[in-house]
Chains A and B, each alone.
Chain A
Amino acid sequence: MAKTHVTMTINGKPMEGLVEPRTLLVHFIRDIAGLTGTHIGCETSHCGACTVDLNGQSVKSCTMFAVQAEGAELLTIEGIANSDGTLHALQQGFREMHGLQCGFCTPGMIVRAYRLLQENPNPTEAEIRMGISGNLCRCTGYQNIVSSIQHAAASTNGGAMREAAE
């Protein structure tokens, strides 16, 4: 099959490659860019393990072609840490509040939560639950993920966690 040249920026670095038109973005990220932190859990856009940030939006990279990301700015789990090398508040929050177990959903969950907090820096519990409803976790029962995101929001805002809306 004829190949197409694609160029995009991933975690601030230019990345290019030759792909088939049908190559999924997630395969470009994992196999060509070599960034294996983004995972594949279902290939039908239900589980969210492949979530990345594309031009400021959360997208499921298993349901996009690499060629559709031509020229895009991507952020994956490998680019989430602070520029000085310290862990991002979300990465710290997930460890602090036991927001992960097997770790397979974690990169997608953190990248999704990153965008959620960009859009809503101080979400309620209900807003967090709705905000991560496109990401499945089989281990944690979500409760500690919610706490992790609240922890990150509080530490970023320098304030206390917002009370649950319910």
Chain B
Amino acid sequence: MNDMVATADERADKLQGMGCSRKRVEDVRFTQGRGNYVDDMKLPGMLYGDFVRSSYAHARIGKIDASKAQAIPGVLAVLTAADLAPLKLHWMPTLAGDVQMVLADGKVLFQNQEIAFVVAESREAAADAAELVEVEYEELEPLVDPFKAMDANAPVLREDLEGKETGAHGPRKHANHIFEWAVGDREATDLAFRNAEVSIKELISYQRVHPSPLETCQCVASFDKVRGELTLWGTFQAPHVVRTVAAILSGIPEHRIHVIAPDIGGGFGNKVGVYPGYVCSVVASIVTGRPVKWVEDRIENLSATSFARDYHMTTEIAATKSGKVTGLRVHVLADHGAFDACADPSKWPAGFFNIVTGSYDFPTASCAVDGVYTNKAPGGVAYRCSFRVTEAAYCIERGMDILADRLGMDPAELRLKNFIRREQFPYQSALGWEYDSGDYATALRQAMEKTDYAGLRAEQKARQEAFRRGETRELMGIGVAFFTEIVGAGPSKNCDILGIAMFDSCEIRIHPTGAAIARMGTKSQGQGHETTYAQIIATEIGIPADDIMVEEGNTDTAPYGLGTYGSRSTPVAGAAIATAARKIKAKAQMIAAWLMEVHHDDVEFDIDRFRVKGLPERFKTMKEIAWAAYNAVPPGLEPGLEAVSYYDPPNMTYPFGAYICVMDIDADTGVAKVRRFYALDDCGTRINPLIIEGQVHGGLTEAFGIAMGQEIAYDEIGNVKGASFMDYFLPTAVETPHWETDFTVTPSPHHPIGAKGVGESPNVGGVPAFSNAVNDAFAFLGNTHIQMPHDAWRVWRAAQRLGA
């Protein structure tokens, strides 16, 4: 038998387990056009929904006349808030404890807000009819600038909240105020600033952007009146949560709701929430008795479903003259748009923004966030980051550069001086987190060495001198960023969504032939779960990854889980997979011992088998054990070989990384060219290096887009200015730099396999690296801070302002 003679390495290689660059199993269907995305679905009798949307940012709605629309052949219904009101579905709860209009109820609060839902036999008829719905508007004064939201004379946006002095997260200070969230020791921090030898203060804004996955949000709702069952296919990053929300909203019992997320064309946080399109499609299917498809177009996606960021962070750092940080004080003005539809765990209205102390040993810190309403689209999603973590990383990483400049210190040197040291882990941060593990100095030193950081600084100095002498018009910027993420939400003690603890789950069934199916509560949107999850099981149980089918997204078959976002799949579901696998392994051990007629303590696991201790030639392979599980189990043991695990993580995980960006900037055009980008990531145990590298490339490219050009901007009356790919910057292959990746490995001590998650790190660390490079290029001309996005126009203006 081959197994008898195969070496241990050969047997391990055959499994394609953790640590190998296994080729993705998903690619086989995707490269042949055989993916199964929501819009590919076609059901008999299917109808199409389309929205009538608001032309104005703030207006009272009078009469809605749908008579011309209803005269279009093929139009079945035009739903308005009045139609949804008897079902109490004209408003819906948000994940952030607020409520949101499904269809405009009396007034509209942002441009392109949903007013009516047209249902027709074809998408063309629906679109034609939507054009013909006549809406009477009475324009109201729009509120666009968040800094004016709490002015005494500011227009009141949310009349439904009139008289409510307390919101979901405590007292409200103004009719347009949502919450104030404060953490840290304000008194001690103020004292640190009073005693500071040096301090800096800067308003650092992180502009409103949008995740913009290539596939927009979409669904098909099908209500079966006879069976009383609803099936909802959709682009859902968290299908189980959608099912629970659907049950609560519709009154249909949860077991009669089947939520299915098929292949998803990218999510990046855009597909976590529940949108009016889903609610209207369900209602339309109930009303018509036919399946209803809703597919938003790109303009709708960019202007109505989920923005990200829009954080305005007044950042202060206190330090000694020698560059030791002594305090951090941050105030954030958070623009949440018309409804607070942030996708954060319930108790965290500003997400995990209190990771803002970053990678540094701040003895004290305080932070407060004020959320306000404006006449803009709702959202505040975690766009390829854990909740508000990229805002925090940008804040502290820009702040450290500004401090370095003030001190006349090199930014890398300042970071090395203030890092949390390896021996301080687990580390209690001043703002309340327990960092699990890290070795920051090693990572940054490795990055500096690989990029010849000292050489780059020397080159920059020479370039600056040449610039001053008028010999060149090209500036050189070096961006250093060192980020610490907080991912893997999260422990039930502090993380829930709508009261459901943020555990995740896995069920594994080993079939008699030794092949297996495994299902999880998460949902891949391109992360390659079908590939990597099987690798974890392969290593844990000893059956080849190719023999394991991974299935997600069907709430009827998958165990309950909170979904995929915030880099939580590997930290939470990955742990559930390992623990479920270990339950199976424990039973397999009993069976193996029984088969070999020895005590179970006398057998040990060996890659793909259990062997008798000290007698390696006596073994039973997992394949043999699987077969025996269905016909020869020890007395007292149930037949079968399967397990389910719900994993409640004891702590978050804290991936980190060191990024260095080298940029050349033309002072006369503002065009910035990335010459080099080096990214070192430490995500703990590495499951599939190929996929990790791909995740890093993708996250860096999104960070590049954000830092160098993305903005969902509004004009002074609330018209959204950048809601198509004509205006909203998505990098093409031409602008996108070449990425250099590297790594260190510092496993998480509390995670069953030591993995920390990686998908979002490059976005979190990338944005400050690019921005620091742009700012660094102008520092020698007296620049302190240039706001993002750093498109050529804005960079050129900064160059003009600084006399470059």
Could you tell me the distance in whole angstroms from the C-beta of B385 to the nearest C-beta in chain A?
15
B732 near A136 with CB under 8 A, answer: yes
Binary interface encoding of chain B residues 1-38 relative to chain A, with 1 for a CB under 8 A from any of its CBs, else 0? 00000000000000000000001101111111111010
Contacts A91-B31, A98-B691, A102-B215; A141 near B700 (Cβ below 8 A) = yes
Flag the segment in A29-37, A65-73, A154-162 that touches B: A29-37
A41 near B697 with CB under 8 A, answer: no
When chains A and B are docked, how far (Å) is the Cα of A142 from the Cα of B701?
8
A100 near B698 with CB under 8 A, answer: no
Chain B residues 255 to 271 lying within 8 A of chain A, measured CB to CB, are 263-266, 268
When chains A and B are docked, how far (Å) is the Cα of A38 from the Cα of B265?
13
A151 interfacial contact with B, CB 8 Å:
no
* Nearest A-chain residue to B301, judged by Cβ: A42
When chains A and B are docked, how far (Å) is the Cα of A103 from the Cα of B215?
10
Contacts A39-B215, A138-B702, A143-B738; A95 near B33 (Cβ below 8 A) = no
B694 interfacial contact with A, CB 8 Å:
yes
When chains A and B are docked, how far (Å) is the Cα of A146 from the Cα of B738?
11
Partner of B298, one of A27, A41, A106, A135: A41
* Nearest B-chain residue to A105, judged by Cβ: B214
Chain A's interface size range is 35 or more
Flag the segment in B404-412, B521-529, B779-787 that touches A: B521-529
For B40, what are the chain A residues with a Cβ–Cβ distance below 8 Å? 30, 36
For A146, what are the chain B residues with a Cβ–Cβ distance below 8 Å? 733
For B725, what are the chain A residues with a Cβ–Cβ distance below 8 Å? 42, 44, 46-47, 136
Chain A residues 96 to 136 lying within 8 A of chain B, measured CB to CB, are 96, 98, 100-107, 110, 128-130, 132-136
B32 near A140 with CB under 8 A, answer: no
When chains A and B are docked, how far (Å) is the Cα of A41 from the Cα of B738?
25
B736 interfacial contact with A, CB 8 Å:
yes
In the complex, which of the residues A104, A107, A110, A144 has the most CB atoms of chain B within 10 Å of its own CB atom? A104
A102 near B298 with CB under 8 A, answer: no
A100 near B212 with CB under 8 A, answer: no
For B724, what are the chain A residues with a Cβ–Cβ distance below 8 Å? 42, 44, 46
Binary interface encoding of chain B residues 694-724 relative to chain A, with 1 for a CB under 8 A from any of its CBs, else 0? 1101111110000000000000000000001
B214 near A130 with CB under 8 A, answer: no
A142 near B215 with CB under 8 A, answer: no
* Nearest B-chain residue to A136, judged by Cβ: B730
B500 interfacial contact with A, CB 8 Å:
no
A16 interfacial contact with B, CB 8 Å:
no
For A40, what are the chain B residues with a Cβ–Cβ distance below 8 Å? 39
B690 interfacial contact with A, CB 8 Å:
yes
A104 near B215 with CB under 8 A, answer: yes
Name A's B-contacting residues (CB within 8 A). 20, 22-23, 27, 30-31, 35-44, 46-47, 49, 76-78, 80-81, 87, 90-91, 94-96, 98, 100-107, 110, 128-130, 132-146
CB pairs A–B below 8 angstroms (23 shown): A20-B124, A35-B33, A39-B265, A44-B724, A44-B725, A46-B726, A78-B33, A95-B27, A100-B24, A100-B27, A102-B214, A102-B525, A103-B30, A129-B736, A133-B733, A138-B266, A138-B730, A139-B526, A139-B694, A139-B698, A141-B697, A143-B738, A145-B733
